[in-house]
Chains A and B, each alone.
Chain A
Amino acid sequence: MATDRIVERRRVFVQYKEDVKERGKPFYPYAMWHDTIMSLVVVAVIIGLAIVWKYTTPGNHHTEAAGWLGKLYDAPADPGTINFVPRPDWYFYFLFYLLRIFKWPNTVLLGTIGIPTICLALLIAMPFIDLRAERRVLRRPVAIIAAILVILSMGVLTYKGATAKEALGTELIAKVPTWAKDEGFTNNKQAVAGAKLFAVAGCLNCHTYNSIGGGFAGAPDLTAEGAKNKGIAFEIAHLKCPACVNPGSPMPSFAGLGDARLKQLATFLDASKGKK
């Protein structure tokens, strides 16, 4: 009976309070002493990591050379880079890898938002799922097995994320020759360069092209964009400021890519006359 359980757990808690009051030890100095030692260890470890990080870095510290704990700096941010390797801090590797497991376009939402949201909700709801008063480890087999599975899967995902080599965009770059063949722009060097840029610059997060891509936020399919004969100049203007050309467009500006790359991208779009 639920009410019995409520009465019982209240009684047990009152008893716990009595027991602690009667026979517990004061926080100061006993527990506080342990806490203080542990805190000092934490500070020492942090300082130690900082020292190892700095003093194992070779060179004059202005270089990008890596020590035992990695580089002091990476190269400065360049929004126009192509072929980037997006890599979060290590404690996000599990999320990063989830993003890679689930492929466009149908299940990516599950990997990025679905599973983390479900996990967070389960974590918050845990005290209301596990209502038993039992606390001994060996008598909570379900909880312990669930915990071990969670730790293992987080560990595996983190490891896979840490060792994942290629950038998200490189899988797409591999498709560029197919695109060029299908659309017939293999001999147009500008268009091929633009296609590579298109693959890595995140366009396919929203747009679709040759049956792959996000199809998100109402972004149109670009497979036959060139067949609309809007011209390279229009495409460049649109990439620079989508909302100026097409009022209300949610598409971000890609002006940061720079004129030369925008020209390549626009040539690629203009050369995409649809699958032959």
Chain B
Amino acid sequence: MATKPLTKSEQIQQTILYPLDWLEERSGLVGGVKYFLFRKVPGDTNWFQTLGAATLTAFLVQALTGSILAMYYKPDPNEAYSSIQHITNDIFAGWLVRGMHKWGASVFIILMFMHMGRVFLFGAYKYPRELNWILGVLLLAMGLGEGFTGYLLPWDQTAYWATVVGININGTAPFLGPFLAQFLQGGTYINADTLSRFYAIHMLMIPGAIFALIGLHLYLVVRLGVTSPPWSKEAAGTGPLDGAASKNGRRRAGMLRPGPRRKR
């Protein structure tokens, strides 16, 4: 079969799309992104269901501002406090980056709890999304761990003594407690190693785990689909796009009415 010569606009289009085609052929990423963007969600998803994305954004703000702070912060008892002062007073917009990290932590924690509350209220932890609920609880625990380890880093009085108490609390746990306390402190009491240890946990270990867990969390959201609100009349919800559905009179009971399927 002879191929038709391409028109000029087709040629331009091909040239523009070539990098995408190249990427798609080798990775399938373009198809993946398309699937992610154009997957269907229930028509009546609402603002409450943006809390997950909001939490993700808060985490990304923490990751970005944290990376910038790490460029100037010194995890050493003799220098930590002065490096924080340096960041706040001397570095261009340093106060903004530190302030965003400090207050972003609270926003992140609040949003995690609100997101969890929404999921609970919507009953969205029920079959088949149990595993995603568990991942969410682990993320919450990790987030609180970030709060605990990050609190020591300014190496000021509140930070130091709150950590003493926090480690003592860990230390009272049966069996593993003393080992956990020793692990956190990097010794039998709070010392210079404690600070660098908390720093490593705070900026490498837990964030790595959080990134991985968020990846799994989102994978399950995409795989299992978004839950419609519990007050929704139908499983898929009634959105602006489902006019066609009501036209042919198909109103089906969804996950809300688990009784025997009604005859239409």
**Minimum Cβ distance to chain A for residue B52 (Å):** 8
Partner of A31, one of B45, B154, B162: B45
Chain B residues within an 8 Å CB radius of A49: 99-100, 103, 106-107
In the complex, the chain B residue whose C-beta lies closest to that of A62 is B89
For residue A75, CB closer than 8 A to chain B, the reply is yes
Which residue, B125, B126, B177, has most C-beta atoms of chain A within 10 A?
B126
- A interface residues, tally (CB under 8 Å): 96
Determine the chain A residues whose CB is within 8 A of the CB of B51 once the complex forms: 38
Return A64 CB to nearest CB of chain B, in Å: 9
Q: Is the CB of B137 within 8 A of A123?
A: yes
B211 at the interface (CB under 8 A from A): no
CA distance A87 to B160 in the complex (A): 10
Chain B interface residue bracket vs A: 35 or more
- Residue from the list B85, B130, B245 in contact with A73, Cβ < 8 A: B85
Bound Cα distance from A77 to B50, whole angstroms? 40
Which residues from chain A contact B133 at a C-beta distance below 8 Å? Answer: 126-127
Cβ of B40 and Cβ of A78 under 8 Å apart?
A: no
Among A130-138, A176-184, A185-193, A223-231, the stretch in contact with B: A130-138
Determine whether the beta carbon of B174 is less than 8 Å from that of A143: no
* Closest CB in chain A relative to B102 CB, distance in Å: 7
Chain A interface secondary structure, helix, strand, loop or mixed? helix
**How far in angstroms is the closest Cβ of chain B from A218?**
11
Take A12-B254, A54-B95 as given contacts and tell me if A135 and B237 are in contact as well, using a CB distance cutoff of 8 Å. Answer: no
The answer for the CA separation of A250 and B121 in the assembled complex, in Å, is: 47
* A61 contacts B88, C-beta separation under 8 Å: yes
B36 surroundings in chain A (CB, below 8 A): 27
User: Looking at B103, B126, B165, B228, which has the most chain A CB atoms within 10 Å of its CB?
Assistant: B165
Give 1 or 0 for each of B148-175: 1 = CB within 8 Å of chain A CB. Answer: 1001001111111110111011011110
- CB of B177 within 8 A of CB of A20, answer no
Q: A78 and B95 in contact (CB under 8 A), knowing A28-B37, A42-B107, A113-B177? A: no
Chain B contacts of A143 at CB under 8 A?
A: 120, 123
Known: A16-B225, A123-B137. A8 touches B258 (CB 8 A): yes
| B127 located at the interface, meaning its Cβ lies under 8 Å from any Cβ of chain A in the complex | yes
Q: What are 5 A-B interface contacts by the 8 Å CB criterion? A: A19-B254, A27-B38, A31-B226, A39-B56, A128-B130
10 further interface pairs, Cβ-Cβ under 8 Å (given A27-B41, A73-B81, A113-B169): A21-B40, A23-B242, A27-B38, A34-B50, A35-B54, A74-B158, A79-B190, A113-B174, A128-B130, A205-B172
Sort A-B residue pairs by CB-CB distance and give the 9 closest, nearest first: A50-B99, A135-B123, A24-B40, A19-B236, A252-B189, A127-B130, A77-B160, A49-B103, A35-B53
